[in-house]
Each structure stands twice: as structure tokens, then as C-alpha cells.
Structure 1
């Protein structure tokens, strides 16, 4: 199964990214050290989810009224612009992206030219789309790796948090959050006893 086939539809993906961002807020008080983040809808009804592993790799998911676009960058990929003498975006990554979605990547913070893969989903699509990109044999565009850090289950997040945040999380609490339960003071303390509960609540409100 290709990575495109494993991606949930945008509405489900958006809720999942909110859950991951919320758990990161609870686990890690330092915003710059968080792996998953979510910026809620702005005046133009656009919201942005992001993944940053702190090692030069990142993923942006932009949810907009006209559809959703994913831009990923694996800094070690053979199709990275920095691996080319011309320092250009690999052929095929952006050519077929609808203009209305491609324009969402123009924000300087998104670093449009730092890209190794791009997927999109217009409102009338029934599955995720990708341009005609030819990747050399033995090369990787980083999509399996980065999309794989969108953890679908509580078990996967607990395993990740133990390695990344060095926290042992109660699976039953994390499972409730994955199921959509509102995060309570007790949940926050169970996940991260050292957290500033009021600050966490303040940040969590900013996601909804």
C-alpha cells in the first residue's frame, strides 16, 4: 500500500493533527521542542499543522476551504534541492498541483522551495493526489518516514513519547484523548506531573 493510500481524508487528518498537537503541548512546555504543532484557522479560514523533528526534516499540512495540501522535506533525501547542483525543486513535485492550493505554500515560514514531496486533496477528490515524480532507484523522498510520524493510535504515540520526550505515558489516558475526550486537569497531571496546568489549558484553548 502506498503512502497516499494510508493517509486519512482531510477532515479526519485535521482532527488527528489537533490531537497530536494537544498531546505535545501537555508533554512539552517548550514550544520549540515540540514535534507536532497546530495553528488554528485564521481570518481566511486556513489552518496549519506541522511536524518538525529538530533534525532538519519537516512537514506542513495546510487545511483551506478549497482543499488540503501537504509539503514535506527530508533533508537527507536524494531529491532534495540541496542534493542538486542547480538547487532546484525536483521535477514533477509541484507541476500538477492546483494553483489555488500551491499558492498556500507562499508563506515564508513554510519554505516552499525546501521540498521533497507534495500531496494534495481538492474538495471534489476521493483520494490524495501526487504529481508525476520519478524518483531514482534506491532513493527516498522522505514521505514514508514523515507521514509515518502522524501517529494514528494511542499506542504509537505512547511509544514515540517515551523515546522523544522521555516520558512514560498512561496508555488509557492517551487513548481517551484519541477518542475525542476533552483533556482535563487530571489527564494533564497523569501525562506530565511537572506541567504548568494553567499554561497548558491556555495553549490548548488556542488549538480549538
Structure 2
């Protein structure tokens, strides 16, 4: 098993992945940052709702969730797979990508000549799990796995999520609150206050409703 296939096996199926992304997006909003790492957009004309992670350091991933398929793409700006080196996606990275998902590899903020991709996986509702290409060796180097930024999606535990938030915001994070939210407790003004005192509640509540998560 390659590192890429191992990661694909660890990634939850789309419905569960959406729940994790929804939770992480709400937890991020609870900190009231002007530049949150997680963002969400409801389904547009293409039928895909959309989650995005961007750390401000040049790394990002996006997850597109449709009725019958899903697509995950990521970009690690320090990776040897960066298409900026050769102005082309690493050979084999997108092999086997279904035709209906190809438009998601070329977005408005991509370079006209190539998409900013170092990782790509896709899923159909046929019980086959997450699929991926077969990145080929290039110039004697094997393709590396650039999934480090997605660890909160696979290590979805209170300890892992709390550590990620604590590291990013350089502050202690209330472990009991994180555990409560991951266990499904609706986000409330009280829980937000425990996480980040002073965060304005109204935008968090609005986002919760847009995500269909509700609030208490």
C-alpha cells in the first residue's frame, strides 16, 4: 500500500467528511478571526457545495461535495510536486479522474496554464471509496504525500483538533468544549465564550444556520 492509498483509506466517506468539515469550520469561526482558515459556500450552479482550508502560508485544500460525487484537491507550496516547477501537474496525479470532475481542477484562481495541485482524490457513491491517480516518479524522485494539512480530518479527536487550534491561535483551548462539540452538542454562545472570550456571537450563529448545524 502506498502512502497515498493509505491516506485514501483513512479518509471518511463524503457524508461523514462533510460533518467533520462543518464542525471544524464552526470551531474556527468561534475564534472570531478576520482571516479564518476554514470557509464554506453553499452549492452553486454546478451542484457542489464547497469547503476550503487556507493557512495563510501558501497551503490550501478544497473539498467539493455533490449529490453523487466528491472531489478533494490540495496544494502544498513547499512540495516537490508543485506544478510551479514544471508549469504542469505532476505526471499521473489526475489519472482516472472522472470527466465530470475535471472542471474542478481548473478554478478561477488557478494559473491559466495549470492548476495548483499536489494532491487529488475523488469519490463516487458506488461503494468503491476514495480514488486517486498513480503519480509517477519524475527526475528520479518519487511523488510524496502532501496530506499533512488534512490531518484534522483523519485524526478527528478532541485532542488532535484542540492541539491544532491551540497551536494556530497560540492560546490554550478548552478541551471539554472541543469534546462536547465533536460529540454533537450544538454550538452555543456559552461554548463560544469558553473557547474565545469576546468573539461576536451573531456571525457564528449565522454560519451555523448556513451550514445546517443549528445553534443553541
CA distance in 2, matches of 1:110, 1:39: 18
Shift of 1:64: 0.8
1:140 equivalent in structure 2: 144
TM-score, structure 1 normalization:
0.88
Shift of 1:59: 0.5
2:116 equivalent in structure 1: 114
1:91 equivalent in structure 2: 91
Shift of 1:27: 1.3
Q: Give the 4+ runs in structure 1 shifted more than 6 A.
A: none
Unaligned runs of 5+ in 1: none
1:102 equivalent in structure 2: 102
Pick closer, same or farther for the CA change 1:147–1:182 going to 2, 3 Å: same
CA distance in 1, matches of 2:206, 2:116: 32
CA distance in 2, matches of 1:130, 1:140: 14
Structure 1 window deviating more from structure 2 (61-70 vs 146-155): it is 146-155
CA-to-aligned-CA distance 1:178-206 (integer Å, 9 cap, x gap): 11211111111111111011232123222
| 1:80 matched to 2:82 | yes
Give 1:1-208 correspondences, 5 Å limit.
2-30=6-34, 32=35, 34-42=36-44, 44-84=46-86, 87-109=87-109, 113-135=115-137, 137=141, 140-143=144-147, 145-150=148-153, 151-208=155-212
TM-score, structure 2 normalization:
0.85
Q: Give the superposed CA RMSD.
A: 2.0
Pick closer, same or farther for the CA change 1:91–1:78 going to 2, 3 Å: same
Pick closer, same or farther for the CA change 1:27–1:106 going to 2, 3 Å: same
Shift of 1:123: 1.3
CA distance in 2, matches of 1:54, 1:5: 28
Shift of 1:110: 6.2
CA-to-aligned-CA distance 1:79-108 (integer Å, 9 cap, x gap): 111122xx1111111231001122233431
Q: How many residues align?
A: 203
Secondary structure class of the residue paired with 2:50: strand
Unaligned runs of 5+ in 2: none
